[in-house]
Amino acid sequence: MQSLFNQLTNLSTTGVITAAGQHNSIAVLITKAEQIRQQYPQFYQRSIAIRYTNLADFVTALIAFDGCCSAIYLSPPNVTIPHNDIIYWPLESDAAVTDSMPTLLKSEASVATTWFMATSGTTGEPKWCSHSLLSLTANTKHSQKLQALCWALLYQPYRFAGLQVLLQALLSGADLVDVADYEPLAQMAFLKHADVTALSATPSLWRQLLMTGQLSELTLSHITLGGEIADQSLLNTLKRLFPNANVRHIYASTEAGVGFIVSDGRAGFPTKWLKDQTLTVALKVSDEQHLLVKPQHHVCQSLVLQTNAPGYVDTLDKVQVNDDRVLFLGRATGTINVGGNKVHPEKVEQVILQCSDISQAKVYAKKSALLGELVVADVMIMDAAVEQEVKQQVLKMCKKQLQRFEIPTKINIVKNIDRDPSGKLNRKPQYD
């Protein structure tokens, strides 16, 4: 496959990225990337860690080092890289590199660069996962219509979801506006000013934007959800606000890459896909009701123990086959143990979020001497005046749709619910 540098230079039109009020054309960044390659021939076939400073320099480094270096590590803050012989970019000094590295004989052939990204560590310690540019861009599209889009970047670009948005914008020739480091109201101001037409976010981030009351002021034609379960109430809300938009939810992970894309407006995915041999990713449901996926591209080394003999990866996502639909219940490793009964927090949250007065919800465990753990819910509401009514409505809905042990024993009205750096609810255990 062609390197990122070669693919971008072959585009008839490239876009502009905007970050912190600065506009940078991709054409200029390509030129800067070429200059880096010429200035540092000793980087050829070496491993390099890119430390994020700003979006323009980050993109320039990606263009420069893919196809040149043997490995690229997209380095988040405070995550250890399991590699000793590595170059850190930006360099602290040119002298250190010149003195310590031999200049290798550069070949004209492009190197097959391995890209490494760290998981967000939502439920545990981050781990490094490998990809190729081919696997990262397997679902990237290009057309004149897509070239006219203006994407917003709500994720950190060194995370898998952020890199997906970045590569889609770059390789389609679209514009990109970085708003990842701002609060929702500030984000909305930038999105409106830039006339953003394409937006990708986790369900948690979408709910944050909905809470501003300004989301409907955008003219969105492309809407993407990923990283968390896309519940039906949120899909319905977005379709109601943007009836002409292409609304999709993507099943993907840092470890396995992009699995599949659902665009029929319904939560989960069609049951018939479990037997569809034409999909780019084969799907199955295990005896434990875990979703199994068989990617077309290489499987990250960290998933070897979760891969069976035919090549299916156990995603550890618990699903339920319900007539013509396969619905997601939550992570098999993230259940709450109530007296031996397993409760999926995500399942309870989907019921709670059916209440129109609730903008966000998080369900988690609280220790219990009698039952081991109890189910507790934190919720954010639109109007503090209806607090008691909301609690009563939530309990009524839960009693109707959930088993007794799944019903929250306590509902807390809160002003904020923490998210992790990837835009997902922070699900690390937090006992009192």
Instruction: Report the range of poorest mean pLDDT among 14-28, 181-195, 300-314.
Output: 300-314
Reference 326, options 293, 280, 299; nearest CA is 293
**Correct CATH for 182-330 of 3.30.930.10, 3.40.50.12780, 3.50.50.100, 3.40.50.1370:** 3.40.50.12780
* pLDDT number for residue 77: 85
The mean pLDDT of 175-184, rounded to a whole number, is: 95
Q: Measure CA 234 to chain center.
A: 17
* pLDDT number for residue 280: 83
* pLDDT number for residue 127: 82
Torsion sign (Cα): 355, 356, 357, 361: positive
* pLDDT number for residue 420: 83
Q: How far apart are CA 265 and CA 273, in angstroms?
A: 16
The mean pLDDT of 155-182, rounded to a whole number, is: 95
* pLDDT number for residue 121: 63
Give the three-class secondary structure for 337.
strand
* pLDDT number for residue 431: 54
* pLDDT number for residue 267: 96
The 10s digit of each residue's pLDDT in 208-260 is 999 999 999 999 999 999 999 999 999 999 999 999 999 999 998 877 787 89
Domain spanning 334-413: which CATH class is it, in words? alpha beta
Same fold, 4-172 and 182-330: yes
Contacts of 404 by beta carbon, 8 Å cutoff, 6+ apart: none
Q: Is the pLDDT of residue 303 over 80?
A: no
Average pLDDT over the chain, rounded to an integer: 90
- The H or E element that residue 254 is part of is none
* pLDDT number for residue 105: 44
Domain spanning 4-172: which CATH class is it, in words? alpha beta
* pLDDT number for residue 83: 75
Strand partners, 260: 251
Q: Is 373 within 8 Å of 337 (Cβ atoms)?
A: yes
Instruction: Report the range of poorest mean pLDDT among 237-246, 345-354, 378-387.
Output: 378-387
Question: What is the pTM for the complete model shown?
Answer: 0.88
Residue predicted with more confidence, 247 or 431 = 247
The 10s digit of each residue's pLDDT in 274-302 is 999 888 889 999 999 999 998 777 667 66
- Domain extents in the chain: 4-172, 182-330, 334-413
* pLDDT number for residue 99: 46
The 10s digit of each residue's pLDDT in 66-114 is 999 999 999 988 888 877 789 999 998 765 565 455 454 445 568 999 9
The mean pLDDT of 402-417, rounded to a whole number, is: 94
What Cα–Cα distance (Å) separates residue 245 from each residue in 89, 164, 176, 199, 200? 39, 20, 18, 11, 13
Instruction: Report the range of poorest mean pLDDT among 269-273, 320-324, 385-389.
Output: 385-389
- The H or E element that residue 290 is part of is strand 290-294
